[in-house]
Amino acid sequence: MTTSLPATHEVLIEFESPEDFHEIPLMLPPDAFEAALQELALRIWPGGTEFQREVAAVAYGAMAEALEEDGTVHAAVGLFETEAGEVSIANLLVRMDDMQLDEPDIVAASLQEMLSLEEHRDVHRVDLSCGPAIVSFHATELGGGQVQQPITFAHVELYVPSPFGENLLVITMSTPSLAELPVYVGLMSRLGDTVRFSRETSQIPTPTQEQNDGVTHGQGQRMTIEEETRSVFG
């Protein structure tokens, strides 16, 4: 499904959302917001009870309000059944940041240097169909020091400078399902290669079908996100 973000600096940004990810409603008027929450709860609990769907709607309503305050422009939740029959969950968050530098290569180099200063991150440059990008891997603990068994979340962040300058697209996929991390990294890799920026009639080309597997061809090729993941996590 094609996702279009609100235009900023007259630049339209689009990407293909992974299948089975359900959009969390953001920036909607109250009536439409409530209706969208009910629809989301029904997709999450198609065979659930009314109480389960009501709880889900309330929880994701509160999450949506917090995400809006944090500057998130697109959010989605993915629910999958693993081979072991368990439920695997992941959150997809997208935000737009303003940037002062216009040259994507310079922006990417600056981001790589800045993020690499944080010891808990593993940071790499990758080449997408729309240009250079930075991918960062790190983990956080939810409830650390407060509960006996804190929940560990793995985060894959993709920083994509706009080829037109002024915009930085930041996509984050987070999951507590560490065993399924390679699956989610594969989804992020394919999503990244569908990102496209356009301004009026000027458009950065979308990848061809042959390139849509997450591999960027050409001279001076850098590792893809999936290849970086294998090098980091084995």
Tell me the domains of the chain and their CATH numbers. 11-142+149-199 (3.40.1000)
pLDDT higher at 218 or 61: 61
Biggest alpha carbon–alpha carbon distance for the chain: 56
**E strand segments, 82-233:** 87-98, 122-128, 131-142, 151-161, 167-175, 196-199, 202-203
pTM of this prediction exceeds 0.75: yes
Confidence of residue 3 (pLDDT cuts 50, 70, 90): confident
pLDDT at 218: 35
DSSP, res 207: P
Q: What's the pLDDT tens digit per position in 122-166?
A: 999 999 999 999 999 999 987 655 656 778 999 999 999 999 888
Average pLDDT over residues 7-16: 82
pLDDT tens track for 47-65: 888 998 899 899 999 999 9
Q: What is the pLDDT of residues 171-191, one digit of tens each?
A: 999 999 999 999 999 999 999
